[in-house]
Amino acid sequence: MDAQRALLDELMGSARNLTEEERRGYKEVSWDDREVCGFYMVRFCPHDLFVNTRSDLGPCPKIHDPKLKESFENSPRHDAYVPKFEAELSQFCEKLVMDLDRRVKRGRERLNQEVELPPPPPLTAEKSEQLSVLEEKIKNLLEQVESLGEAGKVDEAEALMRKVETLNTEKAVLTQPQNEKVLMLQEKKMALCEVCGSFLVANDAAERTQSHVAGKQHVGYGMVRDFINEYKTAKEKAHEEERLAREKEVEERRKQKEKDNERKRRSDSSDREKYRDKDRDRELDRYRDRDSERERSREYEVRLRGHRDPGREMDSRSRNGKNGGRDRYRNRSRSRSPIRHNYRRS
3-class state of residue 344 by DSSP: coil
Q: Indicate if the pLDDT at residue 333 is higher than 50.
A: no
In contact, 217 and 50? CB cutoff 8 Å? yes
DSSP structure class, residue 121? P
Task: Please tell me the distance from the alpha carbon of residue 25 to that of residue 236, in angstroms, as a whole number.
Answer: 47
pLDDT at 83: 92
Q: Which tens digit of pLDDT belongs to each residue from 254-313?
A: 888 888 888 888 777 766 666 676 767 777 777 777 777 777 777 767 777 766 555 554
Q: Indicate if the pLDDT at residue 98 is higher than 90.
A: yes
Cβ-count burial of 103 within 10 angstroms (0-12 exposed, 13-18 middle, 19+ buried)?
middle
Q: Which tens digit of pLDDT belongs to each residue from 228-239?
A: 999 999 999 999
Task: Please tell me the distance from the alpha carbon of residue 202 to that of residue 209, in angstroms, as a whole number.
Answer: 9
Task: Please tell me the distance from the alpha carbon of residue 238 to that of residue 235, in angstroms, as a whole number.
Answer: 5
In contact, 244 and 310? CB cutoff 8 Å? no
How many other CB atoms sit within 10 Å of the CB of residue 260?
A: 10
- Residue 307 neighbours by CB under 8 Å, 6+ apart: none
> What is the residue-wise DSSP string for 181-215?
HHHHHHH--EEE-TTT--EEETT--HHHHHHHHTS
Q: Phi and psi of 199, rounded to 5°?
A: -85, 135
Q: Indicate if the pLDDT at residue 337 is higher than 60.
A: no
Question: Considering only 6-15, 69-78, 93-102, 193-202, which range has the smallest mean pLDDT?
Answer: 6-15
Nearest Cα to Cα of residue 50 among 13, 21, 93:
93
Q: Which tens digit of pLDDT belongs to each residue from 12-57?
A: 556 566 666 666 655 678 888 889 999 999 999 999 999 988 889 9
Task: Please tell me the distance from the alpha carbon of residue 27 to that of residue 38, in angstroms, as a whole number.
Answer: 19
Task: Please tell me the distance from the alpha carbon of residue 274 to that of residue 261, in angstroms, as a whole number.
Answer: 20
Q: Indicate if the pLDDT at residue 117 is higher than 60.
A: no
Task: Please tell me the distance from the alpha carbon of residue 98 to that of residue 90, in angstroms, as a whole number.
Answer: 12
In contact, 62 and 37? CB cutoff 8 Å? yes
Q: What is the mean pLDDT of residues 174-198?
A: 65
Nearest Cα to Cα of residue 231 among 42, 29, 36, 71:
42
How many other CB atoms sit within 10 Å of the CB of residue 145?
A: 19
Q: Indicate if the pLDDT at residue 145 is higher than 90.
A: no
Query: Would you give the distance in Å from CA 212 to the centre of its chain?
Result: 33
pLDDT band at 121 (very low <50, low <70, confident <90, very high): low
pLDDT at 334: 47
DSSP structure class, residue 52? T
What mean pLDDT, rounded, does the chain reach? 77
Question: Which of the two residues, 47 and 127, has the higher pLDDT score?
Answer: 47
Cβ-count burial of 77 within 10 angstroms (0-12 exposed, 13-18 middle, 19+ buried)?
exposed
Supply the pTM of this predicted model. Answer: 0.51
pLDDT at 141: 82
- Residue 324 neighbours by CB under 8 Å, 6+ apart: none
Q: Indicate if the pLDDT at residue 220 is higher than 90.
A: yes
Helices (H), ranges, the chain? 2-12, 20-24, 38-42, 66-74, 78-115, 125-151, 154-175, 180-187, 206-213, 216-308, 310-322, 324-334
pLDDT at 205: 76
Instruction: Give the CB-side neighbour count of residue 10, counting CA atoms within 13 A.
Output: 11
In contact, 37 and 72? CB cutoff 8 Å? no
DSSP structure class, residue 118? P
pLDDT at 18: 62
